[in-house]
Amino acid sequence: MEKEHPLHRLQFGTDFHWGVSTAAFQIEGSGDSDGKGRSIWDTFTAGKGRIRNNDHARIACDFYNSYEQDIALLCGLHIPDFRFSLSWTRMLPAGRGALNQKGIDYYNRLIDHLLGQGIVPWTTLYHWDLPQALQDKGGWVNPDSISWFADYAAVCAKHFGDRIPNWMVMNEPSVFTGAGYFLGIHAPGKRGLTSYLKSVHHVTMATAAAAGVLRGDTQSNIGTTFSFTHIEPTSQKPKDVAAAARVDTLLNRTFIEPLLGMGYPDDDLPLLRRIRRHMRPGDEKLLAFDFDFIGAQCYTREIVRARFFTPYIGAGLVPATKRASETTEMGWEVYPPSMYHTLKRLHAYDKIKKIIVTENGAAFPDTVVNGHVYDSRRRDYLQSHLRELLRAQQEGVNVKGYFVWTLTDNFEWAEGYHPRFGLIHVDFETQRRTIKQSGYWYRDFLRQL
């Protein structure tokens, strides 16, 4: 077997962005401090049995109070770019109307501190924490959500647009609509096909609308992020191949293709034709936006088989724990070529100008031993996925950035604090931080000249 040569930062180009990604609800804590309003995740986590171990995010990583400490760690790791999201209810407690100046002031301090440390901010408008006051009006099922979100974007552009060079509009819409409005396993806990299809259309429309606001009100690069999962059939039998194509359409094409001006891919997934019932005259022309970059979030692959009795899609996933040689704490297969296949596929869309890998990482059972965390599996995971990214880049894919998920262990939604994704270990009882072996590896990699 040919020996792999060590990765070197300069192999990826001098204009390549290196960073870590985070999300407000998962790290900030202080859910009711300084005038912040209630989000759907505040409500959802308050219900018993919804979150593993009944965990909550009222403190989380306490980033709201300790961001200077964590940014100092970021600087010590030589990480030049930092992706974070804004909490809608920290600035607009009711989702619209009266501003909470203390929330505006907090993000001004955070942004200014990042810039003062020489760190490039990448800011996500929406990472799943819809204001509860707007959910009470229907949330993303309500067509008014399009204008609510555009107005929120205008507030963010006004207060922060002069200092944010890179915006991402939405984070992983396929996840928060599917898990939140169809399966009910994420906030706001709604179930049903109609609520899901309405939310799909309104979120897509809102993405384009908010992107237009940012384009008009700032001089920034405008992008949005999607989760992409490499899909393969369990066999080459026609029924399995067709089932895999349907799952692929649902997970990987439903949002990106209308935003690229291609319309919903309903020829390949007839279920999506029902979205037309919820479209208003002129909607189709408003779906598309000319993004400066697309954020790709890549973690794993899924194997699909035909399953006649599965409603709507006639397909099922073969659990990775039953077929894969290595899985993460999330039960996801460790399959580095998924990065290569995802990037090559996105490159085939001629309207995508540039790709940024805005999330990639893994959860493993980390423990602190004598002040150290030896997470060689995470280090190996990151290295192997970067090799696949480099392979795609060398074949002509215009990928210009890579962000590890995530800086610190944090609140992982319905899984609570059990899965640890961070480059930095957090003891949630004491808030003590311990840089993991993978964090030191990333530091040494980024220090290469």
pLDDT of 3 reads 67
**DSSP 8-class letter at 306:** E
Of residues 313, 300, 218, 211, the one with CA closest to residue 258:
211
Query: How long a stretch of residues is the chain?
Result: 449
Contact at 8 Å (CB) between 193 and 263? Answer: no
CA 101 from chain center: how many Å?
27
Peptide bond into 336 cis (omega under 30): no
pLDDT tens for 143-197 read 999 999 999 999 999 999 999 999 999 999 999 999 999 999 999 999 999 999 9
Instruction: Summarize the confidence of residues 378-384 as an average pLDDT.
Output: 99
Query: Which tokens is 318 given?
Result: 């073969």
Q: Is 88 annotated as contributing to ligand binding?
A: no
Given the structure tokens 């229907």, which residue do they identify? Answer: 138
319-378 pLDDT, tens digit each: 999 999 999 999 999 999 999 999 999 999 999 999 999 999 999 999 999 999 999 999
The angle that helices 376-394 and 337-347 make with each other, rounded to 10 degrees, is: 30
Share of the chain above pLDDT 90, in %: 98
Reduce the DSSP state of residue 150 to 3 states and report it.
helix
Taking the C-alpha atoms of residue 280 and residue 283, their distance in angstroms, rounded to an integer, is 6
- List the catalytic residues: 172, 359
Contact 16, 379 (CB under 8 A): no
* Helices 145-160, 193-217: inter-axial angle, 10-degree rounding: 30
Rounded-to-integer distance, Cα 273 and Cα 195, Å = 15
Quick one: pLDDT band at residue 35, thresholds 50, 70, 90? very high
Whether residue 413 is annotated as binding a ligand: the answer is yes
Torsion-angle region of 369 (φ positive above 0: left; ψ -120 to 50: alpha; else: beta): beta
Tell me the three-class secondary structure of 111-157, residue by residue: HHHHHHCCCEEEEEEECCCCEHHHHCCCHHHCCCHHHHHHHHHHHHH
Q: Tell me: is residue 425 an annotated ligand-binding position.
A: no
Give the C-alpha separation, 254 to 204, whole Å.
9
Domains (ranges, CATH) in the chain? 9-446 (3.20.20.80)
Beta strand 355-359 pairing with 293-306: parallel
In this model, does residue 4 exceed pLDDT 70? yes
* CA-wise closest residue to 340 among 392, 296, 302: 392
> Does residue 299 have a known ligand-binding role?
yes
Beta strands per DSSP E along 140-277: 166-170, 221-233
- Rounded Cα distance between 175 and 341, Å, is 20
In tens, the pLDDT along 433-442 reads 999 999 999 9
Q: pLDDT averaged over the chain?
A: 98
Residue 26 annotated as part of some ligand binding site = yes
HSE value, Cβ hemisphere, 13 Å, CA-based, for 330: 18
Which residues in 350-431 belong to E strands, given as ranges?
Answer: 355-359, 399-405, 424-427
Question: Angle CA(231)–CA(236)–CA(240) in degrees, nearest 5?
Answer: 60
Q: Give the pLDDT confidence of 191-238 residue by residue, as tens digits.
A: 999 999 999 999 999 999 999 999 999 999 999 999 999 999 999 999
Element (H, E) at 19: strand 17-21
Confidence of residue 2 (pLDDT cuts 50, 70, 90): low
Rounded to an integer, the average pLDDT of 252-257 is 99
Find, among 122, 134, 130, the residue nearest to 85 by Cα: 122
Determine what percent of the chain is predicted with pLDDT higher than 70. Answer: 99
Is residue 16's pLDDT more than 70?
yes
Q: Which two tokens stand for residue 428?
A: 């949630």
